[in-house]
Structure 1
Amino acid sequence: MARLAGRTAIVTGGAKGIGRHYSEALAAEGAGVVIADISGGAEAAEEIAATYGANSALSVPCDVSDESQVKNLVAKAIERFGKIDILVNNAALFAPLQPTKVQDIDVDLWDKVFAVNVRGSFLLAKHVAPHMIARNYGKIINIGSGTVYKGLPGMLHYTASKGAIATFTRTLSRELGEHKICVNTLAPGLVMSETLVASGSHDEALKARVVASRAFKREQLPPDLLGALIFLSSADSDFVTGQTIAVDGGSVNT
C-alpha cells in the first residue's frame, strides 16, 4: 500500500526543478498534491493526474510572499481535498542569484530573497497550521540548505535566509508539538536540477569543490532527495521533529 494514501500535500515551487520531483514522488506514494508555483503549474498537475489519477493533483498559481495569494492557495486546497496533511515549503530564490560580495548586494534583492525564502515559509505555516491543529496531525517540511553549516561566499543573502529556516523549524516544532505536528528541515546540497542547469549561474569550479567535499564523490541529482522527503512526510517519522536531515552525500555533518 502507498505510504501516503489518503493524504494531501501542498508543495510550494512544485512545478519545476526539484519541486517537480517532490510533487511527483508524493503523488506516487498516493498523496493528493497541490502544486503551488508562481509560474502556475498546470502542465505539471496534468502530467501527474494522467499518471496517478484525475484527483491526484491540483495547480494553484501562487507568489508565496503575498499573504492574500497564500490564503487563496490554502482555501483551494481545502475546497478540493478537504484537508492538508503535508506542507513542503520548497519555493525559494537560488538558481537566478549570481555570486555577489556583501558590499555589492542590492538591498531590494536582499529583501526579495528573504520575502520568498523566509516570509513565504512563514505565511504557509501560518495559514496551514490551523487546519493541521484542528485534525491533531501534520507534517511540515521546510527545505533548507547545507550552506548553513559551511557558509557560501558570495551568497550571503541566500545562506542567511536558509539559516533563518533552520531556526524557524526548531521553534515551530516546539510550538506545534502538542498538536502532533512534525516540523523538520530537509537540507540538500548543491543539486543539479533542471532549473539550476538551465540557469548556468553556478560554474564548474564550484561544482568540483562541492563534489570534493562529499563522502560520495559525485554530483547530487533530485532523486537523491526523495527517500528522505517521503520519510518526513509519512508515519515513519511520527516521532521525529525539530530536526535537520542533510541529504548531500556527506558534505556536512548535522
Structure 2
Amino acid sequence: MPPALAYIEYSNTFHHQSYPAISPTRPELSATGKTVFISGGGRGLGTGIVDAFAQAGAKNIVIMGRNATALQSVATATETAWPSTKITTVAGDVSCEADVARAFDEVKKVAPAGIDVVVANAGYLATVAPIPAATPAAGDSSTEQTKLDPVLTDWWRAFEVNVKGVFLLARHFLALAVPNAVFLNVSAGACHLNPVLPGFSGYAGSKIATARVVETLQAENPAFRFYSVQPGAVMTDMLTNSGLLALPDLPLDDLELPGHFMVWLASPEAEFLKGKFLWANWDVEELKEKKEKILAGNNLVTGLVGWA
C-alpha cells in the first residue's frame, strides 16, 4: 500500500484476494432461496458480483446493463457454472425511470414475494480532467446550447448514473424489499481520499453525494440494511480509463474480492455495519472485533475532517 493511502487501512490485514471468511461457499453466508438484483452486471465488477451470489446459492439473479449481448454472455456462463441459479437479463439504463421500472417488473415475475438484495453497481466515469473555464458558446444559457456542450454533458452524466441511478434503484428496492433486505451501493475511494484527486470532480463528487444518500436511506428505513462499498482497485475498463494505473505501486485486487465481500455484507454477520461506508479490502474478522467501537460513534460514515 503506497504511504499516501496508508490511512485507509482500517484493519491491520488489507486483502487483495478473497479469503475463507468471505467465501460464498461458507454456509453462514448462504444466499439460498434469495433473489438478487445487480445493475451493471454485464461487465467489469458486475461479472464478479454475479458469480459470487450465484456461488452463494442465490435462486434468482436479475442483471441489468446497457449491452444486451454482454448480459446474455454473463447469464449463459453463470447458469452453466451454477445451474441452480436462474439469471434474468434486462437491457436498460439505470438513469432512466422507465428502464428501472421495467427491470423491477422482471424481479416481480421471478420473485413475487419480494427482493432480498440489490447491488447498485452501474457507474459512470466522467472524463478525468480539470474543470475548464466556460467558453463564450458554453456560456449560452439556452437549453439547446447546453445540450451541445460536451464537457457539461459528460460531467453531468456521472451524476445522472451514479446519483440518480441509485435514487431510482433505491425507490424500487423499497417497494419490493422483504424484511431485512439489503441494498449495496458500489462506491469509490476517490470520493473520500485526501488530498483530492485532480480531474475527478464529476466522478468523486457524484460518488460522495450518493454515499450521503445511502446513509440517509438507512436513517429513514431502519428495517432494511444499506451499505456503501469501495470495491478495491480491480483491473476493469473504468480503472484503465481513470489513468490511476500510472500511479507507482498501485496495488491491484482480484475480481472476486469485492463480490465475495458483498456476499458477506448481505449475510447476518454484517448486520452491525448497516449504514456504513466500507472497503472490500478490510478484514471482516477484524471488523467484527471492532464492533463496539464502530457502533459507539460516527465511525465509517461521511463527515467533516478536522472538526475540533
- TM-score bin (small chain): 0.7 to 0.9
Write the distance in 1 (CA, Å) between the matches of 2:179 and 2:86: 24
Number of the residue aligned with 1:241: 274
Query: Does the 8 A contact of 2:64 with 2:90 survive in 1?
Result: yes
Structure ID, larger Rg = 2
Please report how far the alpha carbon of residue 65 of structure 1 lies from its aligned counterpart in structure 2 after TM superposition.
Answer: 0.4
> Which of the numbers 49, 64, 70 marks the counterpart of 1:36?
64
Query: Does the 8 A contact of 1:184 with 1:241 survive in 2?
Result: yes
Q: RMSD in angstroms over aligned alpha carbons?
A: 2.2
Aligned residues: 236
Query: Does the 8 A contact of 1:147 with 1:189 survive in 2?
Result: no
Identity %: 25
Query: Does the 8 A contact of 2:57 with 2:85 survive in 1?
Result: no
Number of the residue aligned with 1:128: 173
TM-score (norm 1): 0.85
Write the distance in 1 (CA, Å) between the matches of 2:274 and 2:282: 22
The unaligned stretches of length 5 or more in structure 2 are 1-26, 134-149, 284-298, 301-308
> Which of the numbers 130, 138, 144 marks the counterpart of 1:101?
130
Write the distance in 1 (CA, Å) between the matches of 2:281 and 2:246: 18
Number of the residue aligned with 1:57: 87
Runs (4 or more) in structure 1 with deviation over 3 Å come to: none
- Larger RCO of the pair (alpha carbons < 8 Å, separation 6+): 2
> What do residues 66-116 of structure 1 show as CA deviations (whole Å, max 9, x unaligned)?
00110000011110232211000000012xx43211126811112211111
Query: Does the 8 A contact of 1:141 with 1:183 survive in 2?
Result: yes
Q: Which amino acid aligns with 1:64?
A: V
Number of the residue aligned with 2:243: 202
What pairs up with 1:1-254 in 2 under 5 angstroms? 1=27, 3-31=30-58, 32-40=60-68, 41-53=71-83, 55-82=85-112, 83-94=114-125, 97-103=126-132, 106-132=151-177, 135-150=178-193, 151-177=196-222, 180-193=223-236, 195-196=237-238, 202=243, 204-206=245-247, 208=248, 211=250, 218-248=251-281, 254=300
Write the distance in 2 (CA, Å) between the matches of 1:191 and 1:27: 20
Please report how far the alpha carbon of residue 203 of structure 1 lies from its aligned counterpart in structure 2 after TM superposition.
Answer: 5.5
Distance change >3 Å, CA 20–CA 70, structure 1 → 2: same
